[in-house]
Structures are given as structure tokens and as C-alpha cells.
Structure 1
Amino acid sequence: MADNKGVMILGEVIEGNLSSISTELLGCGRKLADELGQGLSALLIGSAVSGWAREAITYGADKVYVVEDPLLGDYQADSYVLASEKAAKEVNPSILLMGQTEVGSDIAARLAFRLETAAVLDCVALEIDPDSKRLLQTKPVYGGNAQAIYVTDTDPQIATVRAKSMTPLAKDDSRQGEVINIDAGLDASAIRTRILDKVKEEVEGVKLEDATVIITGGRGIGGEEGFKQLEELARLMKGAVGASRPACDNGWMPDKAQVGLTGKIVTPDLYIAVGVSGASQHMAGCSGSKTIVAINKDSEANIFRMAHYGVVGDWKKILPAFKEKIKELIS
């Protein structure tokens, strides 16, 4: 594509709301677009998403492109990639951002192939190179033990962004923008799969990926009884309980609680790791946390290299005292 210009973000509407990752992308995209002296647009795809176009404008978009079609009612890779491709070719953005979500990470690589460009996934920082004006894309590597900066030579420069790594702008209801409809020209014959059924996960309390506070237990917890203590602390702090892979493999916690490369990627404000050694596979799932606190009796545990704060000692002695202090603070 020639004459690529501007920044575009792929917005997601989830359960009747413009998702938080979408507003974060708009905040980041606005900053990048301003540095380039270009415009920021949002792309909304679905069967009935035009109602959120105005919302995207209040969070920073200059233009909102809407692709609506009955075939886009549920996410399905074939239809959404075709819709994204049509919009990208019509708008010709220089930069195209998506969330590191099930939808964003699925579309990004497929779309990059179709547009003969590249996609960098799971970025935690984005900025414009002052000399080349190309996008500098920073992402964790080696299980979160290091960060690498990537530059894409082709346009559009596609990147997915980790949730909570960017800050949304304050909502401004006075902002004005333009809403443009795009006909993707979808044909049902091009869609190779269909959704047969949906099963909604039942969650008590806060969902792990949405929690601002997570208390995670590892092999050092020793068993199910230890996790009951973590759950008590999580309730006090209005948080959620996670687990390392060994803890899940031992049956102490369900697989849905696993944090790590083969589990869930979480980015809470506070991540308390209790009895977690800090293997790279686990740290890859929590390295985006704003603050990591480690409690472990092994002073040489890898977790202390990644933690912002560390306590060396037996969690069975430390946690009760910590819990009492929390009770005191919230009373």
C-alpha cells in the first residue's frame, strides 16, 4: 500500500461497552498520531457497533470507521480478518494497533500476512523514533527477563498492545469527529467455521484477568489448605487468587487460575507472589504488573530478581501478620 498515513486502532465492544483496552489504545494512538502530526482513527467491527463510534471519539479518535454486517455478530477469524483487510486498504494507516486479546492477537498475524507486512505482538511500550519516524515497539522477551525493541520496515506497522500497559485519555464529551461506514462486502461462503454454542465461565468474585490485586501461590504453598489462606487475603483486598503451573498440576487450584505462558497473562496494579520460585514461564505471565511483591523463604529464588519488593521468610508466619495489618488498615 502506498502513501500510508495516520494511526488506526482496532476497537472492541465487549458486553455492551467499549472495552478498556480500546480506550488505552486510543490514548496511546493519540500520542503517537500527535507526534507524527497525523490523524487518529478507530475501527469498529460487528453486527451492531455504530452506537460506540461517538464513545471512541470522546476518547481521542478523529475518525471512526464502522464495518457492520449480520455475519459479524460473533467473532470469527475469516469474517473479521476480511473486514479488517478491507478497512486497512481503504484507510491506509501507517500504524495499526490492536489489543493483546483473543481477538487482536488472532487478527494481527493473519492481517499482516494479507497486507505483506509484519506484526509485533504483546508490546508494553510504543514510541516514535525521532529520526526515522518509525514505530519503536518494545515487548518482553526471555520469559519477561528482558525487553527488546522492534522496528517494522513495511506499512502498516501492526502491533498488539498488552492490557494496562497504556493510559487512556480523560473522556472529553466536547470532542468532535467523523463516523464513516465501510461495506466489507462479506459473503457467507467465505466463512469456514461457525459457532455452535457459547459457555460462559462462572466466576466467584473478581475475574483473574480483571483484578487490580492478585495473590498467587506456588509450589511453596504446599497444598490446598494454603490456598484457602490466600483466598481470605484476596477477599480482604478485593482481589483474585492465581497459581503457578506446579500448583495447578498438583491439583491445588484449577487450571483457569494458572498465571504464565501456558496460563493467563495478567497486569494488576499489585501482584503478590507467595511461595513462587519465579520461573521464566511464570514471570512471562505477570511481568507487566505495576508492583510485584515476593514472599519466599529461599533468598536465591529467581522471583526476587523481578520483584519490586521482597520478603525472605516462611509465608506461614508472614502472611498472618500481613493479613492482620490489612484488616487494621481497612477497619
Structure 2
Amino acid sequence: MAALVIAEHDNQSLKAATLNAVAAALQCSPEVDVLVAGSGADAAAAAAAQITGVRKVIQMDAANLADQLAEPLAAQILSIANGYSHILAPATANGKNVLPRVAAKLDVAQLSDITKVLSADTFERPIYAGNAIATVQSADPVKVITVRTTGFDPVASTGGSAAIEKAAVADSKAQSSFVGRELTKSDRPELTAAKIIVSGGRGLGSGEKYQELITPLADKLGAALGASRAAVDAGYVPNDYQVGQTGKIVAPQLYIAVGISGAIQHLAGMKDSKVIVAINKDPEAPIFGVADYGLVADLNTAVPELTKALG
């Protein structure tokens, strides 16, 4: 049977995580459909139809789907679930919000945060903050899966020519309603989609030092800004900067860790980065165990020199 991917979008464009979820779905089944549920989401549906490997795009359009609340979105997924052996979504805040409800309604066990597809019913997922990998086999008739996006290379966003089918919207009888959303606006790349990330840790000593040292370096590289949990807890930066097991899971081309010791929680969120550069004055810091390039130096001297050297 076919696999269904729940597209993540803002009603205008698809989020990059959808491409990683499609890549995982294609390893589960050769036939992959994408559900675009939203309000006025024609542009997002058209973008989904261009994704390589997608057979069909199912578009559901209604006002109560505009904000991707779990209740109405889960109702749409359930209305078409019978036709699929696998239902997948990225393991983002949205995916983690919606798919547990779908799994519960279908009375199946969710397979969370998978990083590898071994066969149509067998998957790998990290446990113990990524220090061990569990192999999980499911006998459920429908596999409900969230996909750790860093585990799968995205499929091409163009080159496909899937048909778009507009489907009837199911009644959700939702008990919740959307009240508001507070977003941090930035001209920088989104943290989970950035190719370069510069992160600062508790070693910086203050939020002022973060702005003085990390921000100029990120500006030179066109990078996203990240931070360790310790830096966030200390109030140096907002919590949406947090990289780690309880923050955002990232795998950029280049990850620069400044003043970050490398606690297990942080390493779990960034150790899949292609190239890791660590700057820390402690030669025994765990971050050097995963770094491709390590510099044992005072960050107050090393970071301005690096920024200056970048021109």
C-alpha cells in the first residue's frame, strides 16, 4: 500500500522538512501521496506537486485548517487513513502535535523520531539522547511515523508532476481554537534549515558577550544563531535558539560551537552536522570528542580574530 506524508507549510509555501519526510516515505513504499491541509493553500499544494517521487497531492481547504491545530488536522488525516499503510510527518513541533492523536484514534503505536528505514515494518530510532539506536519492528496495520529530518537527505523539490486532488473536508468537532502566535522575526535563516549555524554556550558569560562575539561571526557567514541549553537558561538568548535534545535537532553543513562544553543533551541535537568546529578553553571538553576541528583558546580572543579573518 501507499504512504501518506503530512505536508508542513504556512499555506503559502512548503517547509523544507516535508522533503525529508518524503524521502523517508519513499523508503517505506514506492507510492507516496502528500496531504496539504490548510486554508487558501493552493501555492503550497502546487509546490508539493513538484516534489520528486510524489504520486498525488491531496488538498483539503477550510478556514479551521489555517493554523494546523491537532484536532481538525487529525480529523482530515483519519478520513483518508484507510488507503495507506504508512502515515508520516516531520518530527517537528507540528508533527509531534498531530500524529500522536492520529495514532491514538487508529489504536496503533506511534513510531517516533525515526532515523532509518530498514524495511516497510522495521525502523531505527535514537534513544538515550542518541547514545544508543533502537531497532523497532511494528506489526500494526498502519504505521504512524514521525521522521527526524536530519536522518534523511531531502528529495528534490522540483522535477515531479503529481496530480492535485481536492478532497472533501471532514468535520472535526474540535474543542480547541486558535488564539494567537508569537513569532521571533529574523532576517537570518531558520535554525533547522540553515546550512551554517554559529552557537554560543555558557562560556560566553553573558548575553552581551553573545551579541558582541557570536552575532558578528554569524553575520560574516550568513549563518543562523544557536545556543546551548545552559546559555538559554541563563537568559543570554531566547529559547527558540536552543539546539539539543529538548531544543532543535540540526544537521547543517557547518556547525561552530563557541564556549559550549558539549553536554550529552546538546550533542544529541547537533552531532550529525557535516563539519563541526569547536572553540573552548578547556582541552577536556566533551565537544572536542565530536568536533572535526577543535581550537583550545580563549573565545574572547579567538572569535574576534576569526571574524576579522573572514573579511
TM-score normalised by the chain length of structure 2: 0.88
- The one-letter code sitting in structure 1 at the alignment partner of 2:48 is A
The aligned runs of 1:53-92 (5 Å cut-off) are: 53-59=45-51, 60-89=53-82, 91=83
Which residue number corresponds to residue 154 of structure 1? Answer: 140
Structural RMSD (CA) = 2.4
The structural deviation recorded for 1:126 is 2.6
**Cα distance between partner residues in 1 of 2:177 and 2:163:** 33
Greater radius of gyration (CA): 1
1:20 and 2:16 matched = yes
Moved over 4 A (4+): none
Q: 1:164 to 1:249 in 2, by over 3 A?
A: closer
Q: 1:290 to 1:241 in 2, by over 3 A?
A: same
**Cα distance between partner residues in 2 of 1:139 and 1:119:** 12
Aligned partners of 1:87 and 1:182 also within 8 Å: no
**Cα distance between partner residues in 2 of 1:25 and 1:316:** 41
The aligned runs of 1:205-244 (5 Å cut-off) are: 205-227=188-210, 228-244=212-228
The aligned runs of 1:127-146 (5 Å cut-off) are: 127-128=118-119, 133-136=120-123, 138-146=124-132
Matched position secondary structure for 2:156: coil
The structural deviation recorded for 1:236 is 0.5
Which residue number corresponds to residue 298 of structure 1? Answer: 282
Stretch deviating more after TM superposition (175-184 or 207-216): 175-184
Stretch deviating more after TM superposition (10-19 or 206-215): 206-215
**Runs of 5+ unmatched residues, structure 1:** none
Which residue number corresponds to residue 94 of structure 1? Answer: 85
Equivalent position to 1:312, from 293, 296, 301: 296
1:105 and 2:96 matched = yes
- The one-letter code sitting in structure 2 at the alignment partner of 1:116 is D
TM-score normalised by the chain length of structure 1: 0.83
The structural deviation recorded for 1:68 is 2.5
Aligned partners of 1:23 and 1:56 also within 8 Å: no
**Cα distance between partner residues in 1 of 2:275 and 2:286:** 16
Aligned partners of 2:280 and 2:295 also within 8 Å: yes
Matched position secondary structure for 1:16: coil
Matched position secondary structure for 1:86: helix
Matched position secondary structure for 1:14: coil
The structural deviation recorded for 1:104 is 1.0
The structural deviation recorded for 1:202 is 2.5
- The one-letter code sitting in structure 2 at the alignment partner of 1:143 is A
Equivalent position to 1:183, from 156, 163, 168: 168
Aligned identity (percent) is 31
1:69-122: per-residue Cα shift (whole Å, max 9, x none)? Answer: 332222221111111111112x1x222210112221111111111112122222
**Cα distance between partner residues in 2 of 1:51 and 1:260:** 33
Q: 1:312 to 1:29 in 2, by over 3 A?
A: same
